Amino acid sequence: MENEKIKKDDKLTFEDALTRLEKIVRSLEEGNVPLDSSLSLFEEGTKLIRFCSEKIDAAEQRVKILTEKNGVVTEQEFGST
């Protein structure tokens, strides 16, 4: 259900997801969260990781590296050298 919320929430930004993920990690590291809540936080965290990873993958696909060779500007896909 939380994953559907994450996918349907068009307003969720990468930065917001990362901030929430950092809060979840802190809460889990402190160890003051009951087991059931820890499991829910862990599940939410894994969904946020997936969301952030998908955002990064999409951004990488859109990034073009412009290089100039002999006065000619060429475009290369990100990651290709």
- Tens of pLDDT, residue by residue over 1-43, are 455 566 556 799 999 999 999 999 999 999 999 999 999 999 9
Give residue 72's pLDDT. 72
Q: What are phi and psi of 3, to 5 degrees?
A: -60, -40
Q: How confident is the model at residue 62 (pLDDT cuts 50, 70, 90)?
A: confident
Q: What element of type H or E holds 67?
A: strand 64-69
pTM, whole model, 2 decimals? 0.70
Separation between Cα atoms, residue 11 and residue 20, nearest integer Å = 14
